[in-house]
Amino acid sequence: MDFSLSSEQKQIREMIAEFVDEEIKPRASEIDEIDEFPHDLVHEMGELGLMGMPFPEEYGGAGLDYHSYAIGLSEISRGSGGLGTVVAAHISLAGNMLYEFGTEEQKGTYLTPLAEGKDVGAFALSEAGAGSDVPAMETTARKEADDYVINGGKLWISNGSVAETVTLFAKTDPEAGNKGISSFIVRPEEDEGFFVEGTEKKLGDKGCPTAELRFSDLRIPESRRLGEEGEGFVHALKTLNGGRITIAARGVGLAQAALDDAREYANEREQFNQPIGEFQTIKHKLADMDTKLSAARLLMHQAADLKIREEDFIKEAAQAKLYASEVSREVANEAIQIHGGYGYTRDFDVERYYRDAKLNEIYEGTSEILRNTIGDQVLD
Ligand SMILES: Cc1cc2nc3c(=O)[nH]c(=O)nc-3n(C[C@H](O)[C@H](O)[C@H](O)COP(=O)(O)OP(=O)(O)OC[C@H]3O[C@@H](n4cnc5c(N)ncnc54)[C@H](O)[C@@H]3O)c2cc1C
């Protein structure tokens, strides 16, 4: 058992941390304020290989192992929670759908531009009436000769209004429940019948557009189907399992940002003629924040380790995501408390971390659904 990073993993972390400190952190408040997709930063991240971190070089990726990818995603999220979602949805969801279930031709055509950062990806699963309850989806893909004709709509789609490639789930056999769902590749700029209805006004996660999509007789060739008909539900579950490692990473990054700011403030701020960090209550808060963050990071790496070894990691990914999500919210909350009144204002970043962290408990499996998943495995 070895808990230390390899020298290559350390180098990757340092390289990404430097980019985050120089390019992302100084822009994070502005991104939060204007809530627009930062095309220039995403382009720069593409140049650095950050939009294709875990994919093999033959598909335009950086070929990083899953520990390094998780470290990279947590560093990006330390800079901006919104950018963390942009990258997680692009790589862990859209990219991984193509990498795991695409043919060689589909990977060459659609994954490579994603991994190189030339295209942006989105993953369109959720609908107004189908969030946790995925099989309740109503979007259909009707077979017509060699084409599919898609009708319906999706809600809450990260990157949905800016993506060039969308991996989309629809029912090819509406009577067959979860076995009637299939997955497809859709290209909003090429395919007629793809409409962006708008984007959500959110509590946090700014800079990552969360879009409502509508499909009206959207016709795509059969060659855009991923895998076989009826495999879509399994594709979604497998992809979300891997994705949970990166939402854990987003939690770790946000908690690290909150702890860093709280520590600095506790050293600087004086009350009763001493730094507030010298009050035992504040010191103990920092101790708990650091301990929880370390535990969340270890759970993240445990899940990544099992994935690398190609062992079952459903429970461990759910635990990592559940725990890191709650820790990110708790640590950000304590960071606000340590900042006192200042922490409740936009003059400091801790309130942004809190707003960004809350999302971790909702998307890619709510904390309640994850407890169901973990509980089922414990009882098994
Ligand atoms: C900012 C943002 C970005 C998102 N990005 C994407 C994306 O890129 N792609 C995508 O497809 N989706 C995305 N989502 C959707 C997200 O995955 C869903 O919101 C989430 O799965 C919850 O679904 P819901 O909102 O319909 O809530 P519901 O499923 O209606 O849940 C409401 C409440 O009931 C609880 N509940 C539901 N079922 C159970 C149960 N069986 N047991 C116990 N409790 C239960 C939930 O835990 C929750 O507390 C995003 C959401 C947000 C907010």
Query: Which residues are bridge partners to 275 per DSSP?
Result: 270
Among 77, 165, 363, which residue has the most ligand 1 atoms within 8 Å of its CB, making it the best to mutate? Answer: 363
Closest CA to 207 of 255, 161, 257, 258: 161
- Residues forming the active site: 364
Q: For the chain, where do the domains classified as CATH 1.10.540.10 start and end?
A: 7-120
Distance in Å, CA 131 to ligand 1 centroid = 4
Q: For the chain, where do the domains classified as CATH 2.40.110.10 start and end?
A: 122-229
Closest CA to 238 of 317, 140, 330: 317
Task: Please give the model's pTM, rounded to 2 decimal places.
Answer: 0.98
Q: For residue 32, what pLDDT band results from cuts at 50, 70 and 90?
A: very high
**Which pLDDT score, from 0 to 100, does residue 2 have?**
87
In CATH terms, the fold of domain 122-229 is Butyryl-CoA Dehydrogenase, subunit A; domain 2 (2.40.110)
pLDDT at 223 over 90: yes
171: left (phi over 0), alpha (psi -120 to 50) or beta: beta
The 10s digit of each residue's pLDDT in 352-365 is 999 999 999 999 99
The 10s digit of each residue's pLDDT in 127-162 is 999 999 999 999 999 999 999 999 999 999 999 999
CA pair distance 138, 101, nearest whole angstrom: 23
Is the beta carbon of 359 within 6 A of some atom in ligand 1? yes
The 10s digit of each residue's pLDDT in 65-75 is 999 999 999 99
**Which pLDDT score, from 0 to 100, does residue 165 have?**
98
Distance in Å, CA 363 to ligand 1 centroid = 6
The 10s digit of each residue's pLDDT in 315-346 is 999 999 999 999 999 999 999 999 999 999 99
Average pLDDT, the chain: 98
Per CATH, the number for 233-379 is 1.20.140.10
Q: DSSP of 43-80, one letter per residue?
A: HHHHHTTTTSTTS-GGGT-----HHHHHHHHHHHHHH-
Q: For the chain, where do the domains classified as CATH 1.20.140.10 start and end?
A: 233-379
Per CATH, the number for 7-120 is 1.10.540.10
Among 159, 161, 358, 362, which residue has the most ligand 1 atoms within 8 Å of its CB, making it the best to mutate? Answer: 362
DSSP structural state of residue 6: P
Among 37, 132, 181, 356, which residue has the most ligand 1 atoms within 8 Å of its CB, making it the best to mutate? Answer: 132
As a whole-number percent, the residues of the chain with pLDDT over 90 amount to 99
Q: For residue 35, what pLDDT band results from cuts at 50, 70 and 90?
A: very high
Is the beta carbon of 372 within 6 A of some atom in ligand 1? yes
Location of structure tokens 């929670």: 81
Determine the length of the chain. Answer: 380
Is the beta carbon of 89 within 6 A of some atom in ligand 1? yes
Q: For residue 108, what pLDDT band results from cuts at 50, 70 and 90?
A: very high
Q: For residue 1, what pLDDT band results from cuts at 50, 70 and 90?
A: confident
Is the beta carbon of 366 within 6 A of some atom in ligand 1? yes
The 10s digit of each residue's pLDDT in 205-219 is 999 999 999 999 999
Which of ligand 1's atoms lies nearest the C-alpha of 368?
47
Is the beta carbon of 247 within 6 A of some atom in ligand 1? no
Is the beta carbon of 210 within 6 A of some atom in ligand 1? yes
Is the beta carbon of 376 within 6 A of some atom in ligand 1? no
